[in-house]
Amino acid sequence: MSFDSLPEWLDQIHQYVDANPLIMIIGAKSDLMNMQAVSNEEIEEFAKSRNCPYYNVSAKSNNNILESFVDAVRIAIDKQ
């Protein structure tokens, strides 16, 4: 499961990137919530512990797609 790999991936990003990168956690296919292997609460807790915004998105239902991109741009501008 990709959620289990997140800590390692984030550690690798911080190990190899000099700057303070914009990292967001995006949970895809929110339209299939009944098949979700990890609870939103667990993901939100993890994202908060790593100071990463979290969005649960669905391209199929257009849920949180625009919001996640707007937030990414806002965060990037604020970092400048």
* Number of structural domains found in the chain: 1
pLDDT 10s digits, 8-50: 999 999 899 877 888 888 887 655 555 667 788 888 998 999 8
| Helix H or strand E segment including 26 | strand 25-27
CA torsion sign for 35, 37, 41, 46 is negative
Q: Read off the pTM.
A: 0.73
* 72: containing domain: 2-79
Type of residue at 75: I
Type of residue at 19: A
CATH number for the domain spanning 63: value is 3.40.50.300
